[in-house]
Amino acid sequence: MLGSYLLTFREVLEAALVTAIILAYLSRTDRSVLKKSVWIGVYLAAGASVIFGAAIWALYGSISEEAGVLFEAIAAFVAVIVLTSMIYWMSTRGKTLRSEIEKKVGGITVARGAGLGLLVFSFIVVAREGVETVLFLTPFLVQDTTGTLLGFVLGMLSSLVLSYAIFKMGMAINLRKFFYFTSILLVLMAGGLAGYGVHELLEYFEIVNIDTGWLGRAAYSLGIVGDSIWHHKGAIGSIFNVMFGYTAKAEWARVIVHVAYLIVALPLIIREYRRGGESSNP
């Protein structure tokens, strides 16, 4: 639940911030009449995201157990790729996000068919966040359906409340620092997802009788029983599993991929945020 909460909170907040930037620009430039088109685009994007999520879940439910293991591996790898791309994009472009959006909206409002243009634009930017959310949550959904859905609902509600507090009540928050720290957490989660994807892929290879050699052998085993709270499926262990990829037993391939991802991704994201912070200082 914790992982789905954080992912949903971050993605919905981004969508809400982009929508707020568009609406604020329209108000500031005396084009409030076009806000209706923006909201229609947002609602259509939300609906399309739900349909996309339902389709992914229906696909998973219709395949065989063998194919399901491969599906979980692929879903984890896709989530890692998209999640990492999103984090990197925000670290490099987040500081200019407002100006870029306002420039695009400004160009749309002076063209013919401004209403339709804003509808399409708002649909695209919100639907992108919705599709990313579905892709991110899929690996968690197949592991813990109820917890993932609960985390999704709580994450969505809390992000909307925070967005309202920022833009309607004037709540002060350093969004760059917020995205910096949440990006670090998401990178740690992505590392765990990469390791989980490798684990599922190894299971699939075992099912189809493909020998992976020493890569499929245990790199370590903590000897923790399945009903222990410290097991990666236990009450406490599951939290560390989601946040850091903790597991009571891991294969060599899983450990190598997990560590390699963190070695590359963590310094990269930290460097980009620090570079952006330095360039914004006078």
pLDDT value of residue 257: 94
Q: Is 250 helix (H, G, I), strand (E, B) or coil?
A: strand
pLDDT value of residue 277: 57
| Closest to 1 measured CA to CA, from 246, 235, 249 | 235
- Give average pLDDT by consecutive 10-residue segment, the chain, 282 residues: 76 84 85 88 91 86 84 89 86 75 83 85 89 82 79 84 71 71 87 91 91 90 85 80 83 94 92 69 40
pLDDT value of residue 199: 92
CA 178, CA 51: separation in Å to the nearest integer?
30
Handedness of CA 110, 114, 120, 123 (dihedral sign): positive
Where along the chain do its domains lie?
2-280
Place of tokens 């979980």: 72
pLDDT value of residue 11: 83
Alpha-helical runs (H) found in the chain:
2-28, 35-62, 65-93, 97-109, 114-143, 145-167, 175-207, 237-244, 252-280
User: What are the Cα distances from residue 38, in Å, to 16, 133, 206, 278?
Assistant: 12, 21, 50, 34
pTM: 0.80
pLDDT value of residue 104: 85
pLDDT value of residue 280: 47
pLDDT value of residue 94: 66
Q: What does the block give as tokens for 261? A: 């991802």
CA 266, CA 271: separation in Å to the nearest integer?
8
Phi and psi angles of residue 95, each rounded to the nearest 5 degrees, phi first: -70, -20
